[in-house]
Amino acid sequence: MPPQQLTMAFVMDPVTDLDVAGDTTFVFMLEAQKRGHAVLYVDPGDLTIEQGRPAARVTPVTLRAEKGNHVDLGDARTVILDDEVDVAFQRKDPPVDAAYIAATQILGTCQKTLTLNHPESVLAFNEKLFAVHFPDLMPITSVTKNIADLRQFMEARGGEMIVKPLDGKGGEGIFHLVEGEKNITSILEQSTQFGTRAVMAQEYLPAIREGDKRILLLEGELLGALLRVPAPKEVRANLHVGGTAEKVELTAADLKIIERVGPVLKRHGLFFVGIDVIGDRLTEINVTSPTGVQEINTLDNTCLEAKVMDAVEAKFGAGSGKL
């Protein structure tokens, strides 16, 4: 038992729909419950301001690692976060749309509740654009809504590129475009919503065939990593679109990326982050709801959620309060 029982609220997608076998938020909640902490579920739309103070309609939950029978819901009630919630996790999946922004901004008004990740930093650092702060670590990249510029970028990259939306998740909306295909302009029209929405274009990295490394960082330090290998006819390595999780040893280039990125994450209160590396190139910095904990646990015979909860308890015990 921890020295102090905490009340932890998880702002997330519906708790009833969790994938017990693969969801990172689920094992965070389960670990908190094992330690005697009170675990609350919060729908992002149920975050409110009451008389100038951040509040939420919360539902106590009891969890178990049983597929199809993983949660019991208690009686919902409305609480003032700073009065009744010690730690709040913002674990809602993208897109970072208006509803997401509103919920995160409400969390950002907390004065006493420890909020993870830091709301202002989550909103400040787009998951695709954050990596642009480290241009020498990235693939050659362009961000634009101009279709002609995208075609020129592709031509300059030998007639091949990757295009991805700035607000997607889990590989959604990612295309590998090769000169000569007949639907390139149509794909770019759809991706940019006919030239009205910027997208990210990157040089194609052949190393993707060997896999995409997901590296988890806790307080800017290495927590764990896995290799996500794409299916034979798929360019995306995301596990939910058929990628395979494999054990991985990090290279000197990977450690250099962590050394550069880690202190920036910690400085901005980005407590739990997943970075993606293809070959020796940093492609994304995931700050909203990074995943991979359960897969790494299986591959490395470890329990990463215990390390995360140790860090949460230490942070709260140190009197961090609002980051």
Catalytic residue numbers, as ranges? 128, 164, 214, 228, 236, 276, 284, 286
Tell me phi and psi for residue 131, to 5 degrees: -65, -20
DSSP string of 276-294, one letter each residue: EEETTEEEEEE-SS---HH
Query: What does the alpha-carbon distance between residue 267 and residue 192 come to, in Å, rounded to a whole number?
Result: 33
Query: What does the alpha-carbon distance between residue 8 and residue 29 come to, in Å, rounded to a whole number?
Result: 8
Q: Which residues of 217-234 are buried (b: 16+ CB within 10 A; e: fewer)?
A: bbbbeebbbbbbbbeeee
- The neighbour count for residue 244, using CB atoms within 10 Å, is 14
Is the separation of the CB atoms in 233 and 247 below 8 Å? no
Query: What does the alpha-carbon distance between residue 213 and residue 274 come to, in Å, rounded to a whole number?
Result: 10
Is the separation of the CB atoms in 163 and 200 below 8 Å? yes
For residue 253, the SS3 value is helix
Pair of tokens at residue 129: 């654009």
Query: What does the alpha-carbon distance between residue 235 and residue 300 come to, in Å, rounded to a whole number?
Result: 26
Q: Which amino acid, one-letter code, is at 82? A: D
From residue 141, give the alpha-carbon distance in Å to each of 128, 163, 191, 222, 237: 11, 10, 16, 26, 19
For residue 100, the SS3 value is helix
- DSSP letter at 93? P
Query: What does the alpha-carbon distance between residue 100 and residue 185 come to, in Å, rounded to a whole number?
Result: 31
Query: What does the alpha-carbon distance between residue 89 and residue 84 come to, in Å, rounded to a whole number?
Result: 14
